[in-house]
Amino acid sequence: MVSGYLRTGDMEKALRLFQEMPERNQTSWNAMISGYVECGKLDLARSFYNSMPQRNTISCITMIGGYSKCGDIVSACELFDEMGKKDHLLYNAMIAFYTKNNRPKEALLLFDEMLQPSVNVQPDKMTLATVISPCS
């Protein structure tokens, strides 16, 4: 039901139902974050993100995507840096953020960082496709 309200953009009903849920899991939290990101209410999305009992890669990527739409590099970098163990999906999101916001040097530096032995995150096809643009 929450997802249905989110798809129609009815954040008030989605929030009311979310608050009434006896148990909330990461999927329900991520759905609310995504709903607020989609309607451009990043402050409310961030509030939900900060309130999550346990954050995951999906919630962080969703927030980075929202910050990418408005070019908020400080907030995106803050979230990325806060994540403990980073996987290729999180790197992909941040590289895409830099690319979309005309920061090719930062995108390439982050790509280089993920390849360092101390980080050792293996790129996938999406990483390579995302990194092609800043190279040009």
For residue range 73-127, list pLDDT tens digits in order. Answer: 999 999 999 998 899 999 999 999 999 999 999 999 999 999 999 998 999 999 9
pTM of the model: 0.90
In whole angstroms, give the CA distance from residue 23 to residue 28.
9
107 and 136 inside one domain: yes
47 and 62 inside one domain: no
Q: For residue range 1-50, list pLDDT tens digits in order.
A: 888 888 888 899 999 999 999 999 999 999 999 999 999 999 999 999 99
- 35 in Cβ contact with 19 (< 8 Å): no
Question: Domain total for the chain?
Answer: 2
15 and 37 inside one domain: yes
99 and 117 inside one domain: yes
What DSSP string runs through 52-111?
A: -SS--HHHHHHHHHHHHHHT-HHHHHHHHHH-SS--HHHHHHHHHHHHHTT-HHHHHHHH
> What is the domain range of residue 114?
57-136
45 and 91 inside one domain: no
